[in-house]
Amino acid sequence: MAPGTRNRWRQHIGELVGGEFFNWELFASTAAARAREERSLPWAHIALVVYGVLAERASADEKHSIMLSAMNLRGGLIVDLGPRDGDAVLDPETIVAWFRSLATVPIEEAARLLSSEDWRTIPIETLLKLRYIKSALNVVSLISGTGVVQKHPELENWLQLRPRLP
């Protein structure tokens, strides 16, 4: 896709098509499914561009869900096709950076909170952050066989804590 074409295309994501509602999330999901089935990087690029634009425009909760779909696509393709440093789809560092953006609760604090006898004492916002961390760790776990955990040893501590996260 020519560089200018991608930017023009991005402008229309989320908009009406032919004056009518278009389900962009379903389109991204379908492109992602096709990417996985066919092991197709072009379909993955399409899905990831759509997911990315939708996430930029979404509320925090919606953004997490959309980005989780995008990162699961990346993770699955990394497992299927192998990691490739610098690749827009297959670079495991993209998933690590996304995880780090969600790990806003220090691991020591998370461990302390999870040792509490009564989770009702933990603020709901903190529980939600911990839940986001757990869902991101599920993707990190998916690609753990690629050597990414060895490059980032702090991930191992988080992965050990994952079963206890809400």
In this prediction, residue 112 carries a pLDDT of 94
Residue 166 has a pLDDT of 93
**CA–CA distance, 108 with 112 (Å, rounded to integer):** 6
- pTM higher than the cut 0.85: yes
Show pLDDT as tens, one digit a residue, over the chain (166 residues).
Answer: 445 444 556 667 877 788 888 899 999 999 999 999 999 999 999 999 999 999 999 998 899 999 999 999 999 999 999 999 999 999 999 999 999 999 999 999 999 999 988 888 899 999 999 999 999 999 999 999 999 999 999 999 999 999 999 9
> What's residue 12's pLDDT?
76
How many residues comprise the chain?
Answer: 166
Indicate the domain borders of the chain. 91-166
Tokens matching residue 150: 């060895």
Write phi, then psi, for 147 (nearest 5 degrees). Answer: 95, 0
Q: Both tokens of residue 68?
A: 């989780």
Per the listing, tokens 């040893």 go with 153
